[in-house]
Amino acid sequence: MNLDYLKVFYVAANNKNFSQTAKDLHISQSSVSLQIKQLENKWGSKLFERTTKKISLTPAGEILYDKVGKFISLMNETQNELDALKGIVHGDLKVGASLTIGEHILPFLLAGFSKRYPNVSMNLTVYNSEQIVEKLFNHEINVGFIESMLSYPTLTQIPFAEDELIIIASAQGDVAPHSSILTIEQLLHLPFIIREKGSGTRQVMEDTLRRRGVDPSQLNIILELEHTEAIKSSVEAGLGISIISKSAVKKELELKTLKKLQIDGMSLHRKFYIIYHEEALKQTSKKLIDFVLE
């Protein structure tokens, strides 16, 4: 049995799409289809029901999916025990982090981790929170760091830090009122620049508004952006206001190119979370989690 074929099957089952599976695994879509076909010939059973838009597991596919998931967990557990016998920590570690954590917090933590465990080869990629969950399910990353808790009971989520979100405006422009205190009504009428759907920052903002009885769709959103630097530049240029982690704009606040606004009676704090599959943790992943929680 070719283990690569099982990996292709497992990722395809999670994605429910052969095209996305090909992109994730950096192979051609025809190669994905061929490997799935060879697995079906091997087991003498159809594994996927195919439609024009998506695929779904057959009963036989459900059985194989369950077994392959357990096999992946067993292999990780075996590797952890063998590494522990050697008394050394080495191997690769693939980390996914949401934008604020990946750009402003995690690099400093990983630098300290690398000094303690120099034989670990690390890779850090920035995604939004929903993408991190998808990558964990597909075993494309070992550990994720997200900006708000998500509803995935099969994943373990542990808070490791607290962050303050602030409303920012250009210090030079006239988009925002001169007062640093905004009412909810003012907030809803000002041009708003916001992160894309699926980001932790946006989720916190929307959840906070809902708790105040305000529908987030009432925000006057003029622009959605995926990157912090693009958001800061747009706000500095006077296009609108935005919400952002205070840790991401320390320099701009000191240089007075941006100013901090507050919403009357509203606090915007959140916790950062480590998120992972308990059964799929490798030794390197466990060491990183322990290091961060210190």
Query: What is the tens place of the pLDDT at every residue in 65-111?
Result: 888 888 887 887 777 677 766 666 777 899 999 888 998 889 999 99
Q: Considering the chain, what is the average pLDDT of its residues?
A: 87
pLDDT band, very low/low/confident/very high, at 21 (cuts 50, 70, 90): confident
Residue with the larger pLDDT of the pair 1 and 61: 61
Q: Which residue type sits at 243? A: I
pLDDT digits (tens, 9 = 90+) for 32-73: 889 999 998 988 999 998 877 778 899 999 999 888 888 887
Share of the chain above pLDDT 70, in %: 96
If you average pLDDT over residues 233-245, what whole number do you get? 91
Lowest model confidence (mean pLDDT) among 50-54, 155-159, 212-216, 233-237: 50-54
Asked whether 132 and 96 are in contact (CB, 8 A), the reply is yes
- Same fold for the pair 89-161+272-293 and 164-268: yes
pTM: 0.64
**Per the structure block, which two tokens stand in for 221?**
């959103």
Residue ranges per structural domain of the chain: 3-82, 89-161+272-293, 164-268
pLDDT of residue 25: 86
Fold classification of 3-82 is Arc Repressor Mutant, subunit A (1.10.10)
pLDDT of residue 85: 64
Listed residue (68, 9, 72, 21) closest to 277, CA to CA: 72
pLDDT of residue 198: 76
Neighbours of 144 (CB within 10 A): 27
Region 89-161+272-293: CATH code: 3.40.190.10
Listed residue (226, 276, 229) closest to 249, CA to CA: 229
pLDDT of residue 231: 93
pLDDT of residue 173: 73
- The SS3 of residue 87 is coil
pLDDT of residue 138: 85
Residues 96-134 as b/e (b if ≥16 CB within 10 A, e otherwise) read bbbbbbbbbbbeebbeebeeebeebeeebebbbbbbbbb
The answer for residues whose C-beta is within 8 angstroms of residue 200's C-beta and 6 or more apart is: 98, 100, 128, 129, 146, 147, 148, 270
Q: Is CATH 3.40.50.920 the right assignment for the domain spanning 164-268?
A: no
pLDDT digits (tens, 9 = 90+) for 190-223: 999 998 887 778 888 888 888 888 898 899 999 9
Asked whether 246 and 104 are in contact (CB, 8 A), the reply is no
Share of the chain above pLDDT 90, in %: 29
The answer for residues whose C-beta is within 8 angstroms of residue 279's C-beta and 6 or more apart is: 73, 76, 77
In the predicted model, is pLDDT for residue 279 greater than 70?
Answer: yes
pLDDT of residue 142: 92
